[in-house]
Structure 1
Amino acid sequence: MIEVRLADSDEQCSGTPKVLSMEILTDVSSRSFDLRAAMVVCRELDCGNAVRVTTARQTSEEGRNRGYVQMIDCTGHESAVSQCQQQQISLDSGFVSIRTRVVCSESVRLVDGDGFCSGRLEVKTNQSWSRVCETDFDRQDAEVVCRELGCGTPLTLQGELFGEGTHPFGTKEFQCKGTEEHLLTCSASTREEHTCTHGKAVGLACSGPRDVRLVGGDSRCAGTVEMFHSGEWRELNGEAWFRREAAVVCRQLDCGSAVVANVKRPLSSEPGWSVATDCGGSEPALRECATFVHLQTEVLAAVTCSGTSSDENKELI
């Protein structure tokens, strides 16, 4: 039986993913480890939703004495890593040692939604998950949740939008200002009894991450792909850039469908982000099917979408 751990961290719900099998703890390969795999890791550890996955080169000292790593490939819907596809990869002399780090939301999650940024809101207090009543939650609270999950801004807030769920209702009425980083740091009042009725469990849809843009084209819906990662915008490599990936970018930017997916030669020596993509084409955001890797690239990803200039400032409805 394979179990997952988050190591090299003082925090329970963030760290380097490793798998435990037959009392042997093995590093997880950065290959194919994307936000979908991170969602499964966070779910198995009861740590809420995956917020982000980062990678960094390891020093020779950190990467030595490892005969192999475990590659896991998940759809994002599994309840445990043991249900994902797995393969052991031997480390040869040409293998680049990459450390992957996962950050989970720990105490807030969206479940049963259409993607990672929508679903029924559940909050964990005293190691137990509870639903939130619609009357105890407003626009300012939703802004904090979407930000905490790395999911942009709130679009839709409605009772039973994503089902009623089975966890008990919490007794907190949140009173966020909208600027807090975490929902549980907001002011809240506590009711001795909760009278939330059926159909009032908060469902929330966020806009999704604003971490992709198209530059240098005739409109915001055409150009070279740039992605925000580790605090900066960089162009994206196009070594494995296809219509499926382009479709995800156009959807994320609310730019219609992909018309052209092509590659360009870089005009500068500034290195771009290198990602390995495994998109099906229906994902709501590129980060859900992209893994950051550390490889050199000679071509950049470019997209032309069918849309031109949709409303970038959607309001909560």
Structure 2
Amino acid sequence: MSAIHILHYSLIVGTCFVSHYAVAQNNTVGQAPWSVRLMGGIYESEGRVEVFYDNQWGSICDSLWSIEDATVVCRQLNYSGADLALVAGQYGEGQGVVLFSNMACNGMESNLSTCKYDLVDVTNCDHSRDAGVVCTSQGSLRLAGGSVPGEGRVEILGESGDWGTICDDGWDKTDAGVACRQLGYPDALEAIVNVGFPNTQPVFGSGSGHILLDGLDCESEKRHLRDCLVTKEWGIHDCTHGEDAGIKCDVGLTRLVDGDFDDEGRVEVYYGGEWGRICSTNWTIEDAHVACRELGFPLGARNTQIFEGGDGPFLLDDMKCQGFETHLADCESLGWANNQNCDANLNYGAGVVCNGRSLLI
């Protein structure tokens, strides 16, 4: 099996229910195009993906769900692309059947029906694993001017389809955290404010075009910057591009949980807007070495261990690291969210004891 690669997604939770659907015009011979709709999102550009198939609406299992699959869905719905592909039922559980799993689009298809997929046996994928998407639309974010992934000047998509910037008046780490999660990172490390203005240039350079938001005041549970309180309406500001807001996001997508020391614990990975566990089936010292080095322990692992606790989904299963990989995502496995060997209700996950400070205790 080919290696899997980490893609960044954020947690988006809908609180009211809207729908949006469309039918693609082009398709392969012999397969009727499917209608798709999005349910459970705050905006019509996000939600749980539902497909009309065999005279019924149903959802899609998150097994192997990827940004390429999300891109096809969003393009069917007349959006330019997808921001995020989400797993683990983050838009609530559907009411119909779970129709498909293991979607395998390349991102260029005109309709989901032309992608490779498996029909779902309802006994192995329930609605807690419904797949979701966030399509590119007003309020989408991107970063510019940074030198590494996860940092840069925050730019937001306006109603007219043009990208603009955000004034750093009132910009703080809570606002930055919302932006980072919207962009697919777990959290923010720093909110970048141009404290030397007007005598210094912005850390990530000055943007161009409109300044679209000014005076943001987010609460940490918000999932979009455009959900936050703002002192001025869209496009109204008293700033210049010398005050463009920036962020540095936490790009670490692996963590240790529930250990007695910071160099041990249950290994959890971030994918599709969700922290989740690794199934302990076939978990080896080679897998543990990779996890520990990814977490900043250069000498790798002392041993493997099962750690109790954790209620997140199993996001990786049947790991087959060689031991020299840089990230767990570089190792062979069954693929993201494709759990076949661990019951979802198990109260433990694969863990490690790394060669770190606990050796001195």
TM-score surpassing 0.5?
Answer: yes
Q: 2:349 aligns with which of 294, 300, 303?
A: 300
Q: 2:215 aligns with which of 168, 174, 185?
A: 174
Which residue pairs with 1:196 in the alignment?
241
Secondary structure at the aligned position of 2:241 is classed as coil
Is the Cα–Cα contact under 8 Å of residues 236 and 300 in structure 1 kept in the other structure?
Answer: yes
The whole-number CA distance in structure 2 between the counterparts of 1:195 and 1:301 is 50
Which residue pairs with 1:222 in the alignment?
264
For structure 1, the 5+ residue unaligned runs are 310-317
Q: 1:126 aligns with which of 143, 153, 159?
A: 159
Tell me how far 1:30 sits from its aligned partner.
Answer: 2.2
1:39-78 Cα shifts (integer Å, max 9, x gaps): 747975458743853249989x8327x5xx2633579xx6
TM-score (norm 1): 0.59
| Cα distance, 1:148–1:306 mapped onto 2, change above 3 Å | same
> Percent of aligned pairs with the same residue?
15
Is the Cα–Cα contact under 8 Å of residues 215 and 225 in structure 1 kept in the other structure?
Answer: no
| Cα distance, 1:236–1:30 mapped onto 2, change above 3 Å | same
**Is residue 155 from structure 1 mapped to residue 187 from structure 2 by the alignment?**
no
The whole-number CA distance in structure 1 between the counterparts of 2:110 and 2:203 is 29
Q: How does 1:54-73 map to 2 (within 5 A)?
A: 54-55=88-89, 62-63=96-97, 66=99, 69=100, 71-73=102-104
Is the Cα–Cα contact under 8 Å of residues 139 and 154 in structure 1 kept in the other structure?
Answer: no
The whole-number CA distance in structure 2 between the counterparts of 1:12 and 1:206 is 27
The whole-number CA distance in structure 1 between the counterparts of 2:88 and 2:351 is 23
Amino acid of the structure 2 residue aligned with 1:126:
E
Tell me how far 1:89 sits from its aligned partner.
Answer: 1.4
The whole-number CA distance in structure 1 between the counterparts of 2:52 and 2:289 is 37
Tell me how far 1:38 sits from its aligned partner.
Answer: 7.4
For structure 2, the 5+ residue unaligned runs are 1-25, 28-33, 194-201, 330-334
| Cα distance, 1:124–1:246 mapped onto 2, change above 3 Å | farther
Q: How does 1:66-81 map to 2 (within 5 A)?
A: 66=99, 69=100, 71-73=102-104
Aligned residue pair count: 285
**Is residue 87 from structure 1 mapped to residue 121 from structure 2 by the alignment?**
no
Amino acid of the structure 2 residue aligned with 1:63:
V
Amino acid of the structure 1 residue aligned with 2:262:
R
TM-score (norm 2): 0.54
Tell me how far 1:220 sits from its aligned partner.
Answer: 0.8
Is the Cα–Cα contact under 8 Å of residues 261 and 304 in structure 1 kept in the other structure?
Answer: yes
| Cα distance, 1:272–1:180 mapped onto 2, change above 3 Å | closer
The whole-number CA distance in structure 1 between the counterparts of 2:178 and 2:123 is 44
Task: Using the TM superposition, name which of 134-143 and 39-48 deviates more.
Answer: 39-48
Which residue pairs with 1:312 in the alignment?
none
| Cα distance, 1:258–1:145 mapped onto 2, change above 3 Å | farther
Tell me how far 1:142 sits from its aligned partner.
Answer: 2.5
Task: Give the CA RMSD over aligned residues.
Answer: 5.4
Amino acid of the structure 2 residue aligned with 1:132:
T
Which residue pairs with 2:196 in the alignment?
none
The whole-number CA distance in structure 2 between the counterparts of 1:81 and 1:259 is 45
Tell me how far 1:31 sits from its aligned partner.
Answer: 1.6
Tell me how far 1:183 sits from its aligned partner.
Answer: 2.7
Amino acid of the structure 2 residue aligned with 1:152:
D
| Cα distance, 1:261–1:74 mapped onto 2, change above 3 Å | farther
Is the Cα–Cα contact under 8 Å of residues 192 and 203 in structure 2 kept in the other structure?
Answer: no
